[in-house]
Structure 1
Amino acid sequence: MRPVLHGDVSCAARVLRAVPPGRRAALCRRMIREAEAADRYRLRHARVHPRWGNGSLMAAARHRGMADEPGFDDVDYCRCFIMVLEALAMRPLSLRRSRHSG
């Protein structure tokens, strides 16, 4: 996966906020897997993945329905944001370090 920035986490959290709480954890893991697969595709084929984009978490999230971005005073959004951060932190160390730039 490409380096993860604030916007990536925000987009993923907005996607999670738009689905029922019971579906969020699995969807979060799925978006991360899709971003990782899209990045491998991008590196192998020198073009973006047709569905999941350029290998960023934001691109993997953007093809789904997204809630409007609230502020951090929205507790549900905070929970979704934290869920994304925790899922990213649970990835193996070798995947958390940026291996590619471009």
Structure 2
Amino acid sequence: MRPVLHGDVSAAARVLLTAPPPQRDRLCARMIAEAELADRHVAATGRLHPQFGNGSLMAAARGRPLADEPGFDDTDYCQCFETVLRHLVRFQISRTRS
């Protein structure tokens, strides 16, 4: 996966806002896996992945409906943002152990 910036986390959190809470963890893991798959595809072919884009988390997220971005006074959005960060930490830890 390409380096993750604030906009990537925000886009993924906005996708999670559109999903029922019990489905958010699985959806987040899926977007990260799609970004990683796309990044590998770009590295191997020099072309964008036809479905998941350039290997960024934002590209993987933007293939789905996004909620309007609320402020951090929205508890549900904060929880979604936290979910994305938690999954990114797990991804980075597993990547360094591989």
TM-score, scaled to structure 2: 0.94
How far apart, CA to CA, are the structure 2 residues paired with 1:49 and 1:95?
21
- The reply on whether 1:29 has 2:29 as its aligned counterpart is yes
Q: Which amino acid aligns with 2:86?
A: E
The amino acid across from 2:71 in the alignment is: G
Structure number with the higher helix fraction is 2
Residue identity matched to 1:49: H
Q: Tell me the TM-score normalised to structure 1 length.
A: 0.90
Cross-structure match for 1:17? 17
Partner of 1:73, secondary structure, is coil
Q: Secondary structure at the match of 1:91?
A: helix
Assess, with a 3 A threshold, how the Cα gap between structure 1 residues 84 and 93 changes in structure 2: closer, same or farther.
Answer: same
Q: Does structure 1 residue 50 correspond to structure 2 residue 55?
A: no
CA deviation map 1:67-88 (0-9, x unaligned): 0000000000000000000000
- Give me the CA root mean square deviation: 1.2
Question: 1:91: how far off?
Answer: 1.5
Counterpart code for 1:75: T
Q: Which residue of 1 aligns with 2:4?
A: 4
Deviation string 1:35-60 (CA, Å, 9 cap, x unpaired) is: 00000000001010011000000000
For structure 2, the 5+ residue unaligned runs are: none
Give secondary structure in 2 for the equivalent of 1:15: helix
Correspondence for 2:84: 84
In the alignment, the residues of structure 2 paired with residue 29 and residue 94 of structure 1 have an alpha-carbon distance, to the nearest angstrom, of 13
Partner of 1:99: none
CA distance in 1, matches of 2:92, 2:69: 29
* Runs of at least 5 residues in structure 1 that lack an aligned partner in the other structure: 97-102
Q: Percent identity?
A: 62
